[in-house]
Chain A
Amino acid sequence: GDSVTQMEGPVTLSEEAFLTINCTYTATGYPSLFWYVQYPGEGLQLLLKATKADDKGSNKGFEATYRKETTSFHLEKGSVQVSDSAVYFCALTGGFKTIFGAGTRLFVKA
């Protein structure tokens, strides 16, 4: 069945460091791909998305490119801030539902 695999956290970075959170997927057909962010005590918020191969989603300095050849949708940000500390979820539309990864916790130190 369809699935999403994210790198295990926590990821700990210093402010202004470069961020990569890996996400790979397996899917039949052509899924749409998403990144959601969950700040402490809040619900998930859609961060960015890509609906077809080679599309790049971007928002708030975060980017991810839909790579069909490597079945990946890695999240990147050039310079993280303390306020980016949160849990990040990769997701895809598969079958008859949206499937979420297990989440990756990011800590950013000042």
Chain B
Amino acid sequence: DTAVSQTPKYLVTQMGNDKSIKCEQNLGHDTMYWYKQDSKKFLKIMFSYNNKELIINETVPNRFSPKSPDKAHLNLHINSLELGDSAVYFCASSQGGPTSNYGYTFGSGTRLTVV
């Protein structure tokens, strides 16, 4: 019944490794997002896909690569992990694009710790 689900919930890995985070939504929404939340709770948009097309690509190191195999899934792959990548990563979805009047539905987050 979970609307936006992310896996894994926790991820601890060493510097230099490559890791992926997966996200799925069962709401039938047409737009999905990745956000990064730092330790001060500041939310930064990273990417957004609308019907599998990349529509928002903020200034993010190219070690981060999103992939959307279909409109219900948006994955995030991170190469060569660095200490500064440690954060909580949230997936979200909405109907009607990034300026949806309906608001966003967020997943419960993936806490990434790079050691």
Contact = CB atoms under 8 A, between A and B. Distances in A.
Taking chain B's interface residues, is the majority helix, strand, or loop, or is none over half, making it mixed?
loop
B45 to A, nearest CB: 6
Given A49-B103, A96-B56, A103-B41, A42 B98 contact: no
Interface stretch (B11-19, B68-76, B78-86, B105-113): B105-113
A77 B37 CA distance: 26
Counting chain A CB atoms within 10 Å of each CB, the highest count among B42, B43, B100, B107 belongs to: B43
A38 B109 CA distance: 11
B107 A93 contact: no
A98 interface: yes
A90 to B, nearest CB: 11
Counting chain A CB atoms within 10 Å of each CB, the highest count among B98, B101, B103 belongs to: B103
Contacts of A97: 45, 48, 56, 98-99
Contacts of A32: 99, 101
Interface in A49-97: 49, 51, 87, 89, 93-97
Given A44-B90, A45-B106, A93 B41 contact: no
B104 interface: yes
Contact of A42 (B40, B45, B108): B108
B101 A98 contact: no
Taking chain A's interface residues, is the majority helix, strand, or loop, or is none over half, making it mixed?
strand
B101 A49 contact: yes
Contact of B42 (A46, A94, A102, A105): A102
A46 B41 contact: no
Contacts of A103: 41-43
A89 B104 CA distance: 12
16 contacts: A42-B109, A44-B104, A44-B106, A45-B106, A46-B104, A49-B103, A94-B99, A96-B99, A97-B56, A97-B98, A98-B98, A98-B99, A98-B100, A102-B40, A103-B43, A105-B41
